[in-house]
Amino acid sequence: MQSRFRSDRRLTVRMGITLFLLGLLYVAFVAALIVLLKSWVLVVVVAAAALAAQYWFSDRIALYAMHGRVVEREEYPELHAVVDRLCAIADMPKPVVAVSNMDMPNAFATGRNPDNAVVCVTTGLLRRLETSELEGVLAHELSHVAHKDVAVITVASFLGVIAGLVVRFAFYSELFGGRGRKDQNTLAVFAMVMGVSAAVYAISFLLIRALSRYRELAADRAAALLTGRPSALASALTKVTGDIARIPSEDLRTAQAFNAFYFTPALGSDPGVARLFSTHPSLEQRLEQLGRISAELGEAAAPGKAG
């Protein structure tokens, strides 16, 4: 089913290239592990199980990790009303609506397709935003679902998960037991497995970051055009980013693992090097794009870009 969110050919091309490159990396990774561990059954079973779990249960995993829960219309009527309105405008299935009891203002979407999607907002976001701003944020998240880039990011991040699992497995598996001369052999295998896993993680990390930054700009653009109010989205961005920056970094550590899925990354007051490898473009880039769209639509300039 095609939604009314404006299609983005450049996003589609980038997703295709990223998945192709990660697919090649995945094949090479599995082949290397089979050679090193001499057990193709073990490698294939673990890799397949992890991929299936991440793809089919990504929504439940994300909700559990972020303390989110599904909420009905009776409990959050205004939130459901905004989602209903946007889904009607976009002509797309309504996702499951969830709320996370966190003060950090944020939102995310997850799920393998539009028919099995979840949109979650934090109580901190609901407290801080006006209705028009909330509408902009939810339109942004729904565009991720409509463009299917949520599923792509979920699959793309799979390699990093597998690389991490392999490292943990290497520490605990009996494959690395033994004494005497065998210790030297197993240590060599261990070092090679660690090296391959680290390389795979680094490459997949960079590929995912490049795609993630573009998909956030694409979602901002699609949301602004769908609602016709880019200034409201810009206002929400400014509020949320500013409030998150005031939250101590130690309080954001759990949330940072899900930065690729968030409306705005959970970076503390001093992001430092983390900003260079951020899953999102800078606030300035996002506001600049929304300012251009606002001018094109004849709307008042977005906050922070008035001149």
Residue with tokens 């795609």: 211
d(CA 62, CA 118): 10
What angle is formed at CA 215 by the lines to CA 214 and CA 219, rounded to 5 degrees? 120
The terminus-to-terminus CA distance of the chain in angstroms comes to 41
204 and 48 Cβ atoms separated by less than 8 Å: no
Residue 271 has a pLDDT of 54
Closest C-alpha among 218, 231, 255 to residue 125: 255
Q: Residue 107, SS3?
A: strand
HEC profile of 213-240 = HHHHHHHHHHHHHHHCCHHHHHHHHHHH
38: left (phi over 0), alpha (psi -120 to 50) or beta: left
Q: Is 15 helix (H, G, I), strand (E, B) or coil?
A: helix
What residues are designated binding site for Zn(2+)? 140, 144, 216
With beta carbons less than 8 A apart as the criterion, state whether 306 and 299 touch. Answer: no
* pLDDT of amino acid 16: 83
Q: Which residue matches tokens 């930065």?
A: 259
The one-letter amino acid code at 256 reads Q
Mention every residue, 6+ apart, whose C-beta is less than 8 A from residue 122: 99, 100, 101, 102, 103, 104, 105, 106, 107
Q: Are 264 and 42 in contact (CB under 8 A)?
A: no
Q: What is the pTM of this model?
A: 0.78
Residue 141 a catalytic site member: yes
Give the SS3 label for residue 304: coil
Q: What are phi and psi of 57, to 5 degrees?
A: -115, 20
Distance (Å, whole) CA 305 – CA 85: 28
Tokens for 255, please give them.
């949330």
**pLDDT recorded at residue 144:** 93
Residue type, 166: V
Catalytic residue, candidates 74, 78, 135, 141: 141
Report the chain (307 residues): mean pLDDT per 10 consecutive residues: 69 82 76 71 72 72 82 96 96 94 91 86 95 97 90 71 62 50 64 74 80 91 94 96 82 71 77 67 94 84 41
